[in-house]
Structure 1
């Protein structure tokens, strides 16, 4: 395992230049260099004065020696770069930073909303949990000192996230709680709580730690660190945070179909092939449509958003999704309302042609493609996300460990196996993953609907808000522009032209 050196600073209180000068000194000293600096509190009471101190860093007259990330009550809701190597973390989320999964939250407004977001993004249901939690408040119950300057919401958040390290800052005091158990009787999810004093107090305001990312350690490492000691259980006196109920797969899709019934159709352009269908086929189609409700992916629905369609073949078409994960995210979708197992030989061959065309398109730009499908709704749609080769190197382990963490095992498929070999009944749900060098499948009645998107967001180091596609929507004019840009990029690879 490879530990990384981390610096943590208490509330800078607007003394930005002084803090950065101190960090430069430490980074160039015997203990350095360090990989990253986290700051718990930044702007102080005079935001304008603090901004003035950043001018030379924004202009390039001075530079930071390492990446710096900070939480503060005045930060905006979303992560925001301030200047090179300096990032203001938003009001709540999860972000991959220097190999660490970092959860963070300030206490603006109702913390319950932030807790809900972080519980979804950073709880034990995502990868291996959080390495670090950064907050602007102490959790209520961490120490029985009668202080009102604590937050029960942060307590709930801590209990849900179970971070290995929890950093915050309060006043001119340094407080090291030491390790405690989040789950009685086991050392598997220990948390160490540190509260740094405000900058340049008499108490300790900068801490240096050497931390291996949680994805690289095991129980042997944890037990060796304890040296035979038995940590106490969590000190919190508040009611334990409720466990998030696991929704059954069928319930999730029932909800989706209810939304579809409200008329949230995503596609609706009727192709010439469909328009030329025989009257009896149209009657059958009407009956099927009436039975299933509105489908997001059928090209024959009313209220179509056909401006998202980028390529149309004989059996499938390709479109950009609403709320994409990144700018290289596209969908491959059958023209007919079918599952992947119902494509037939010609449809399967065309699907492979689309995949190969996308691979070639992205490979020529130094990228690779990750394909995945969550079979649950009644119209096959295969996600294709273009990513860097560095992301691909991490993807296999990330998907496997993420699934294992929430109690699922992905089965590796050999070169000849198909989805039909695992799921012969097209009405049964499954999750399918295709990496450049491996394919995996899970076949079962229950699987988290957003699993793949959550893992992709983690791998790409994006903010937690990207997990919900609705947060990534743009206006129609921008969508149209993105489609035209993709068409130009894909034109020489599109076998339908």
Structure 2
């Protein structure tokens, strides 16, 4: 469904967005009037969540004309059966002067050029669909033309009542629990790439850090998305229910202006769930999205209790070793005397031939080839070990360098090397200077970025996290020096250990290594999350 709004042509549009009104019309419109008197006129008010509530007696004043809505207002459809009585058409309608119900789902383009996508209702949890619910057919209606359009640039605003599921991933989590969220809306947001996405229904205010809609280094920069969850009008906690912002329509922006990235931008929180084409058949042909929506035995095949779908799917894609692996904890090749801590998914071991005595490795218990291909359970436990190790080394007046070389290796190894605090802040320049000297291009990627969304599975890479917070990445395309990080860290400006670049020159006896491991294990114990 596509509508045209009669707005005056403006380069920049001043907008208001409101959370659940719940029948509190007088409070809302009084607040809007106050804002307009203080700061000037707004072009449009958009409402998400429940527009009607348990008591809607005041609505008669507006439909009868006794009271007038002070601003052009766009609302979404019902989210519960009791509110159906107020909506006479599923395709949209004029509710009263200045209030327009947009419809079930579609695109709204204002005369100013502002593009708004909208989805009414809540996600249907069963095969049959009630009039206040949406299903995957509605998502197809909303996104079908997008996936086949190579020139698609995104939209300005997406309005949904429910939150997208998992929106807080990679970001500061909301203070309240997201009790009403939808996996389908997350997929729609991923495909539509709105510049702003507004939702309600979760009882509080949440403004997420902006997230990127492109893969760093793999795709050209494009706009970020800002997600805002709004509280209900007149809520007792006095959380923000009205959000004011100005926006220049995307159609008037040049690519370089559109692609500017805020410093706090994160990776996208959404994992692709499908690659729907323009037809229903393409959407249904065995995609993970289809089975997530429908459930059933095939979605659960091969899944053990407690394992996520992400864990199962990534395990199936792992390249298994051709013979015994030195690092799979169940392998006969593992030198177990080096192990200092064992978690649920990963373990910690002293490095054989370590650069320094307390050089350790974070390793998956089962066979995983790289961090990029590792399941989320493994990644989360790696993050937990990193946090513990930072605290441990800080107590010893040291900082930590974490790095991974996914090149000519078959099992994921996160190298953990402590360095003196007085050199920690210089490490980024030292890494960049050394890489330039040997003609290796290191890219600094944003702090909140996720490596799994930057590097495709199977691609070789070198990745380092430095004490200053910098993240450095090199996408390996040909040869790469195997001891690159050790060469950097062994320099006189860091550890001053030029004779220990090659790990083979640093191997100790089993008795010495066992003693070193025992000493580290005992000292680390109070910081070890696995205990």
- TM, length-normalised to structure 2: 0.42
Structure with higher helix content: 1
Q: Between Structure 1 and Structure 2, whose CA radius of gyration is higher?
A: 2
- TM, length-normalised to structure 1: 0.45
Q: Which has the higher contact order (CA 8 A, sep 6+)?
A: 1
